[in-house]
Amino acid sequence: MNSESRPLRKQAGTSGPDKTESRPDSAPAAAFRGIDNSLTHTISSACKWLMEQQKPDGHWVGSVASNASMEAEWCLALWFLGLEDHPLRPRLGKALLEMQREDGSWGIYYGAGNGDINATVESYAALRSLGYAADDPALSRASTWIASKGGLRNVRVFTRYWLALIGEWPWEKTPNLPPEIIWFPNKFVFSIYNFAQWARATLVPLAILSARRSSRPLRPEDRLDALFPAGRENFDYELPPRDGQDLWATFFRKTDRALHWLQTKFLKRNTMREAAIRHMLEWIIRHQDADGGWGGIQPPWVYGLMALHGEDYQFHHPVMAKGLAALDDPGWRYDRGDASWVQATNSPVWDTMLALMALHDADAETDFSPEMDKALGWLLERQVRVKGDWSIKLPDLEPGGWAFEYANDRYPDTDDTAVALIALAACRDREEWKSRGVEAAITRGVNWLVGMQSTCGGWGAFDKDNNRALLSKIPFCDFGEALDPPSVDVTAHVLEAFGVLGLPRDMPALQRGLAYIRAEQEPDGPWFGRWGVNYLYGTGAVLPALAAIGEDMTQPYIGKACDWLVAHQQENGGWGESCASYMEIASIGRGPTTPSQTAWALMGLIAANRKQDHEAIVRGCRYLIDLQQADGHWDEKEFTGTGFPGYGVGQTIKLDDPALTSRLQQGAELSRAFMLRYDLYRQFFPIMALSRAARLFKSST
The phi-psi region of residue 103 (left if phi > 0; otherwise alpha if psi is between -120 and 50; otherwise beta) is alpha
Give the mean model confidence (pLDDT) for residues 438-465. Answer: 97
Average pLDDT over residues 418-428: 96
Higher pLDDT, 576 or 24: 576
Q: What is the pTM of this model?
A: 0.93
90 has a pLDDT exceeding 70: yes
Confidence of residue 245 (pLDDT cuts 50, 70, 90): low
Which pLDDT does position 80 carry in this prediction?
98
Question: Given a cut of 50, is residue 262 above it in pLDDT?
Answer: yes
Give the 3-state secondary structure of 130-153.
CCCCCCCHHHHHHHHHHHHCCHHH
Coil, helix or strand at residue 564: helix
* Residues 644, 345 contacting (CB under 8 angstroms): no
Band the pLDDT of 266: cuts 50, 70, 90: low
Q: How much is the pLDDT for 8?
A: 40
Nearest to 620 by CA among 685, 526, 547: 685
What is the rounded CA–CA span in Å between residue 284 and residue 302? 12
pLDDT exceeds cutoff 80 at 257: no
Q: What is the pLDDT of residues 629-652, one digit of tens each?
A: 999 999 999 999 999 999 988 888
Please state, in angstroms and rounded to a whole number, the distance separating the CA atoms of residues 696 and 225: 64
Segment 544-556 mean pLDDT = 98
pLDDT exceeds cutoff 60 at 457: yes
Alpha-carbon distance of 262 to 256, in angstroms, equals 10
pLDDT per residue as tens digits for the range 567-593: 999 999 999 999 999 999 999 999 999
Binning pLDDT at 50, 70 and 90, where does residue 187 land?
confident
Is pLDDT at 371 greater than 50 in this prediction?
yes
Give pLDDT tens digits for 557-573. Answer: 999 999 999 999 999 99
Q: What is the pLDDT of residue 665?
A: 86
Closest CA to 382 of 360, 404, 397: 404
Model confidence pLDDT, tens digit, residues 171-185: 999 988 889 999 999
Q: What is the pLDDT of residue 428?
A: 93
Provide the pLDDT for residue 621: 97
Q: Which amino acid is at 8?
A: L
According to DSSP, residue 477 is labeled G
pLDDT given at position 588:
98
pLDDT band at 246 (very low <50, low <70, confident <90, very high): low
What number of other Cβ atoms are within 10 A of residue 182's Cβ?
20
**pLDDT at residue 479 in the model:** 65
Provide the b/e sequence for 364-402 (b: ≥16 CB within 10 Å).
beeebeebbbbbbbbbbebbbeebbbbeebeeebebbbb
Taking residues 94-118, what's their average pLDDT? 97
Catalytic residues: 415
Q: What does pLDDT average to over the chain?
A: 92
The pLDDT value given to residue 273: 87
Alpha-carbon 618 to chain mean position: 31
The pLDDT confidence band at residue 6, using thresholds 50, 70 and 90, is: very low
Pairing mode, strands 64-65 and 674-678: antiparallel
Kindly state the percentage of the chain with pLDDT values over 70: 91
Question: b/e map of 497-527 (b: 16 or more CB within 10 Å)?
Answer: bbbbbbbeeebebbebbbebbeebbbeebbb
Alpha carbon separation from 625 to 35, 61, 677 (Å, rounded): 9, 24, 22
89-96 average pLDDT score:
98
